[in-house]
Amino acid sequence: MIKVLFIASEMEPLAKTGGLADVIGVLPKKLNDIGCDVRIILPYYREVRDNLRRLKLKVRNLPREVLVSIDWLAYKGTIKETTVDGVTVYLLCNDELYDRDSLYTTPNGDYRDNDVRFGFFSLGALEIAKALNFKPDIIHCNDWQSAMAPIALKWKKHYNNDPFFYDSKIVFTIHNIAYQGIYGREILDKFGLSQSLFNTEHLEFYGRANLLKGGIITSDLVNTVSPTYAKEIRTREYGYGLDGVLRVISNEGKLAGILNGIDYDDWDPEKDKDLYFNFSFDNLRGKFQNKSKLKSVLGFDANGQKPLIGVISRLALQKGVDLVVRSLNSILDLDVDLVILGRGDKRYEKLLKDVSADYRGNFKAVIGYDESKARRIYAGCDMFLMPSRFEPCGLGQLISLRYGTIPIVRGTGGLLDTITDYTENRESGNGFIFRRFNEEDMIDSIERALSVYRNREEWLNLIRTGMQMDFSWNKSSKVYLNHYKMLLGKN
C-alpha cells in the first residue's frame, strides 16, 4: 500500500474557495479505492470548524503537538482528526493563524502574514506526519501554500537530514500558476533557509523570493491539471514568469498534465438534494422544470422559450467576467436570460452589482458563494458560459455537462481538453468554443449555440451527448497512481 501525505489548503466539504477544494475532496478517496493510504493535512480554519459542526462530523483531539520555528519564535500547533468519506484528515490548529473570517484574504487584499500561515502549515504537515509516525512514500503538495514543505525537505538542514523522509518522493500539483506566494527575501531568514538560496537557480524571482518556484524545483514530479495547461505554462504568455523554470523541468521529464475529474457521486442530477426537481439522462423533464422554477425565482419570465445562460465563478481576472459585463448589451440583445453567481475581487463584485440594477427581468447577478444556488443554476440553465482568459482545468464545464447544460467556453487550458466545438465537429461536439478573448468571438459562439438550441431534437441530442461523457476520476486517479509507482520504482 502506497502511503500518501496530501498537503492542501482547501478541501470539500470543509473549506473551499474554488476547484482545488473539489479536487482534494475526491481524488484522495479515489486513490484509497485503488490501493493507497492517503492522509490529508488541512489548516483548521474557522470555516472548517463551522462546517464540521454543520455536517455533524466526529472530531478527535490527538494528544500530540507540533512545533515550528519561524523568525526565532516557536509556533505551536495542535492536531485534530476527522474522517470524511472514509478519508482521514488531520487538521492543523492554531487559532491565531487560522481562526479568521476567510481562508486567504481580507476585503482589502491578502492577509499580510500568509507567508507565516502557510509556511507554518507546510512544515506543520511534515511535523504531523512525524508525530503520528505516518511515514509517507509520497508527499503530494498542492499550490504555493504547500510549497515550503518540499523547499524545506530539499534545502533546510533539519529536514534534509531527517531519515524519516529519506525515502519520500514529492509530487507537486500546480492548480493555478497565477498564485505563487511571492515575498521579500527576509522569508529565507524567517524560515531558517540559507541566504545562498537567494539566486535565480533557487528561490529568487525578480528581486523577491518565490515559494511556488522553490516548490517546482525541489519536487520529484510536477504536474498540472490538464495536458494543454501543462504546455501553456511553458510559454511566456501563460507562465506568469515561471515558464523558463517549467521548460527546464519539462526537458528533464518531470512535468506532466493530468486532467481533473469531478465527483460523479456528489454531482449527480438524479440524487442532488438541492435541485427543485431531479432528472436523468432517460428523463429530462425535471431539467426543464428546474429551468422554469429557477427563472421565476430570479424574477425572469418563467414561461417563454427564451434560453437561460448561467455563469458561476470566482470573480477574478482569470475568469473573464469583465468581458461578460462589457458585452452585456450584446448578449441580452440575443434574446436570452443571463444569471451570474460569483464571489471574489471587490471591483468585480461592484461592477456586477452596478450593472445588475440597470437590467431587470433578463439579467441577474447574485454576489456570494452558495453551493445550493450553484447546483440549481447548473441544473436549470440551458448553457453555461466560461469566458476564461486562462483555465488550468476548470470544473464548471464538467459539472454543466453532467447536468445537461451546454458549455460555451473560451478555448484555453483544460477547457480545450474537455470541450469539443459542436460547430466544427457534430459527431463528438459537446459545447461551443471561442478562440480569441473578445466580445465579437464570444457573441459568435453564443449565436452558434442559439442556432442549435432552436432545433429542439438536435439540442436534446447535444444535452445527451454531454450527460453521457465520463469526466469522473476513474481514469485520472489511475494516472496519478502510476506516477507514484514510477517515482517509487514500483512499475
Stretch that binds ligand GLC, among 53-61, 210-218, 289-297, 386-394 (CB under 6 A): 386-394
Q: Taking the complex as a whole, how short is the minimal distance between the CB of residue 366 and ligand GLC, in angstroms?
A: 20
Cell 439522462 -> residue: 281
Q: Which does 225 bind (CB under 5 to 8 A by kind): ligand GLC, ligand ADP, none?
A: ligand GLC
Q: Does 261 bind ligand GLC (CB under 6 A)?
A: no
Please choose, out of 44-52, 77-85, 203-211, 309-317, the segment that lies near ligand ADP by the rule CB under 6 A: 309-317
Number of residues that bind ligand ADP (CB under 6 A): 19
One-letter amino acid of 271: K
On whether the CB atoms of residues 128 and 90 are closer than 8 A, the answer is yes
Q: Which is nearer to ligand GLC, 103 or 336 (CB)?
A: 103
Separation CA 338–CA 284 (nearest Å): 21
Q: Indicate whether 214 belongs to the interface with ligand ADP (CB under 6 A).
A: no
- The site for ligand GLC, by CB under 6 A, has a size of 14
Among 30, 117, 175, 483, binds ligand GLC (CB under 6 A): 175
Of 23-52, binders to ligand ADP (CB under 6 A) are none
Q: Of these partners, ligand GLC, ligand ADP, none, which one is at the site of residue 42 (CB under 5 to 8 Å by kind)?
A: none
b/e per residue 241-262 (b: at least 16 CB within 10 A): ebbebbeebbeeebbbbbbbbb
Closest approach of Cβ 304 to ligand ADP, in Å?
27
Asked whether position 337 contacts ligand ADP by CB under 6 A, the answer is: no
Q: Does 395 bind ligand GLC (CB under 6 A)?
A: yes
Q: Measured from the CB of residue 45, what is the shortest distance to ligand ADP in angstroms?
A: 17
Residue nearest to ligand GLC (CB): 19
380 near ligand ADP, judged by CB under 6 A: no
Of ligand GLC, ligand ADP, none, which one sits near residue 343, judging by CB under 5 to 8 A according to partner kind?
Answer: ligand ADP
341 binds, among ligand ADP, ligand GLC, none (CB under 5 to 8 A by kind): ligand ADP
Closest CA to 77 of 147, 9, 125, 143: 125
Measured CA to CA, the distance from residue 348 to residue 366 in angstroms comes to 12
Closest distance of CB 391 from ligand GLC, Å: 5
Within positions 11 to 50, which residues make up the interface with ligand GLC, using CB under 6 A?
A: 18-20, 23
**If you compute the radius of gyration of the chain from its CA atoms, what whole number of angstroms results?**
23
Give yes or no for residue 413 binding ligand ADP (CB under 6 A): no
Out of 179, 240, 369, 459, point to the residue binding ligand ADP (CB under 6 A). 369
223 counts as binding ligand GLC under rule CB under 6 A:
no
Q: How far is the CB of 88 from ligand GLC (least distance, A)?
A: 22
Q: Which is closer to ligand GLC, CB of 23 or CB of 309?
A: 23
Please choose, out of 52-60, 88-96, 363-371, 469-477, the segment that lies near ligand ADP by the rule CB under 6 A: 363-371
Name the site residues for ligand GLC (rule: CB under 6 A).
18-20, 23, 175-176, 225, 260, 391-395, 414
Residues in touch with ligand ADP (CB under 6 A): 18-20, 22, 312-314, 341-343, 369-371, 374, 393-396, 399
